[in-house]
Amino acid sequence: MIATGLGLVSANALQAQTPAATLTVGEVIARIKKNVGIPWMEQTVDNLIAGSAETPVKGIATTMMATLDVMQRAAAAGRNMVITHESTFYSHQDTLDQLKNDPVYLYKTEFIRKNGMASFHFHDHWHRRSPDGIAVGMARDLGWDKYADPANPRLFTMPQISLARLAQDMRARLNIRTMRVIGDPQLPVSRVNASWGYVGQGINLAARADTDLFICGETREWELVEYVQDMIASGRKKAMIVMGHVVSEQSGMKYCAEWLKPFIPEVPIEFIAASEPFWTPDLTPGK
């Protein structure tokens, strides 16, 4: 019994001296690729943009946009891997050619280096998975998931409501400061088509005969916005809401944090919201 007891003590002591397996940034990315449900594309922006694949992960933050403010809050919370839907360095492709001597870029990269952080761009595959991860999160936080078309999570058929009331409800649910609306405030709305994030010309989306309202995050005002204005002036009963890019996809990255947790149980995972960049004179920050 004495020998057995000593054996147990020795085994426990040896176990205590053995370091626990360390989860790395590269291993997190590999698990994302395995679980996203679609083949990983050769041509994609979904890459490790800052940091090293060998970096040990202490915690993970998901976010819509890896701004310096988000990186600072993530570091303060002990989340040294940031999974961002949009770019880290101011272009969709995270192109660095024009930034090598830029003081803002250098400050941000030094902060990332000093705090042992990594930033992973997760855009293409999160959209392309079935269902689209951004669309799922947005519909859920707006309370529209029950109205979504099963074949297209960006199309909604809901009980009729005025454009003004729908916009007000969206603003309240997502805490939006600077939403912009085109159309008659009293227009009855029941059929909605959403393109979360950026949309280019988008005329085919806004002009759909089976919808009353088109929603996007941002677009070019001299193209799509002008077209929607002309649709309305020509007598079409149409409307458009421009939410702002960040708030139009933010909830999808909130959902991403939940999606990650079952297959990355070793470290804490949380969503960190990117701040809405704009404010209006009647909503001056701090007042």
Q: pLDDT by residue (tens digit) across 218-270?
A: 999 999 999 999 999 999 999 999 999 999 999 999 999 999 999 999 999 99
Bond prior to 131 in cis (omega within 30° of 0): yes
Give the fold, CATH level 3, of 21-128+250-271: 3.40.1390
Say which CATH class 141-243 falls into.
alpha beta
Q: What is the pLDDT of residue 96?
A: 82
**Which residue ranges does the chain devote to CATH 3.40.1390.30?**
21-128+250-271, 141-243
User: Residues of the chain whose pLDDT is less than 70?
Assistant: 1-21, 283-287
**What per-residue confidence (pLDDT) applies to 1?**
39
The pTM of the full predicted model, rounded to 2 decimals, is 0.90
DSSP the chain: -HHHHHHHHHHHHHHHHSPPPPPBHHHHHHHHHHHSSSPPPSS-S-SEEES-TTPBPS-EEEES---HHHHHHHHHTT--EEEESS-SSSSTT---TTTTT-HHHHHHHHHHHHTT-EEEE--HHHHHSSS-HHHHHHHHHHT-GGGEETTEEEEEEEEEEEHHHHHHHHHHHHT-S--EEES-TT-EEEEEEEEEEE-SS-HHHHT-TT-SEEEEEE--IIIIIHHHHHHHHTT---EEEE--HHHHHHHHHHHHHHHHGGG--SS-EEE-PPPP----GGG-TT-
pLDDT over 70 percentage in the chain: 91
pLDDT, position 284: 65
